Amino acid sequence: MYQATLSRRSYRFNDLRQLLAKASPARSGDYLAEVAADSAEERMAARIVLADVPLKTFLQQLLVPYEHDEVTRLIVDSHDALAFAPISHLTVGDFRDWLLSEQADSAMLARVAAGITPEMAAAVSKLMRNQDLILVAKKCRVITRFRNTLGLPGRLSVRLQPNHPTDSLQGIAASMLDGLLYGCGDAVVGINPASDSLPLLEKLNYMLDDVIQRFAIPTQSCVLTHVTNTLRLMERGVPVDLVFQSIAGTEAANQGFGINLALLAEAQQAALSLNRGTLGNNVMYFETGQGSCLSSNAHHGVDQQTCEARAYAVARHFSPLLINTVVGFIGPEYLYDGKQIIRAGLEDHFCGKLLGLPLGCDVCYTNHAEADQDDMDTLLTLLATAGLTFLIGVPGADDIMLNYQSTSFHDALYIRELLGLKHAPEFADWLTKMQITDERGQLRDTAANHPLLLALQGERR
């Protein structure tokens, strides 16, 4: 039992799970789950109490039972006590102050990352203003490699997302060309297929591999189908770079996705055996989003932001090249408006980076949310300032297959110019070699006889 008194009123919180939920910033998903604070005063009372909770408590009081949940078992069994030692004496409030101090520099944050549990990260985020989330995340350095190097300071990568509502190879190729000529695609060229047909998935993988190999593009491809489909493709000898899967923060929610930890481990080993990376062996690509546990009724009474942080424990176990919070995609039932989406995006990025993950963000919203592109401009700018690993590049910011609003190739140009951010180094060299950018990294005018344009014309014929 936890309690506090404010304005002569006593507030009681039955356990750590309820305390975390009541301390969360207001969001529609927690109201839907009936775990949110009833008032701003109750929320503040919960935060006052939470600030005095020792970090060690999160190793003793588990939010989801150990014996019933493999994600909990993963968190507990993989906890690094040696990495935790420098911060083990702190309370949640002390942890916030330490994270904001000069003592917590990039090297120190990297050393303690394995000792921080998702619940600790979620708890401290609830005590932080947006500027705190930005400042600490900026100090976290997470570098991964496959065919290029992602996450270096002063760099921002883009996932080129050339989706098509009928999986037209010509339509996908046109969008991919468009993105490459805008300098996008260094994070990954990733297609969300409309169909799960294995023959079609094969064609998509072969097409992506052909373009990457033909033009010696230092990037990687991914067809974002279910992990079981990717396993079948690899068994058939299809050229697979990255294994994709949506993941969540509880065993039951992952069962809703049709996965478990053993299946992810099998897929990771299969991808590693292909040995397709030239610079590194980070072969996994995960996507997450606040509300996924609640949407499958698998949240165990835990608030949606803490559930999201628990998904990062799953990702961390498999050393991904990329992990992406699709922050506004699930809908207004979970994040109602632009204010809630902005806060959630900053929380997710902070928690992921603090746990040692190469976190990117699909800065996005659905058309029935109380949000617009101005909100996305704000979130994009804040995240890039905070050291975002990658963002999404969609033609015109409008994904015509998934039917939601994201960020465009032009948005990537804006944020690079604003903050002086560069591409992944190997990709930047390729852009210059292909005369897509000049020596300063600025886009050139593309001639009609550019090799990429000629290749597309050949595909159409």
Residue 53, CB-side half-sphere exposure with 13 Å CA sphere: 29
Q: Is the pLDDT of residue 457 over 80?
A: no
pLDDT at residue number 76: 98
Strands (E), 67-109: none
- Per the annotation, binding residues for substrate are 159-161, 192, 287, 362
Closest CA to 309 of 296, 335, 290, 323: 290
Tens digit of each residue's pLDDT (9 = 90 or more) over 184-230 = 999 999 999 999 999 999 999 999 999 999 999 999 999 999 999 99
- Per the annotation, binding residues are 159-161, 192-193, 245, 287, 295, 362, 401
pLDDT at residue number 5: 87
**H or E segment at 4?**
strand 2-6
- Domain ranges in the chain are 12-139, 144-434
Domain 12-139: which CATH class? mainly alpha
Residue 180 binned pLDDT confidence (cut-offs 50, 70, 90): very high
Contact indicator for 109, 139 with CB cutoff of 8 Å: yes
- Per the annotation, binding residues for adenosylcob(III)alamin are 193, 245, 295, 401
Which of these ranges, 2-16, 114-128, 382-396, has the smallest mean pLDDT? 2-16
pLDDT at residue number 192: 98
CA distance 431 to 418: 20
Domain 144-434: which CATH class? alpha beta
Q: Is the pLDDT of residue 256 over 80?
A: yes
Q: Is the pLDDT of residue 369 over 80?
A: yes
**H or E segment at 58?**
helix 57-60
Q: What is the pTM for the complete model shown?
A: 0.96
Tens digit of each residue's pLDDT (9 = 90 or more) over 261-290 = 999 999 999 999 999 999 999 999 999 999
Average pLDDT over residues 384-411: 96
pLDDT at residue number 392: 98
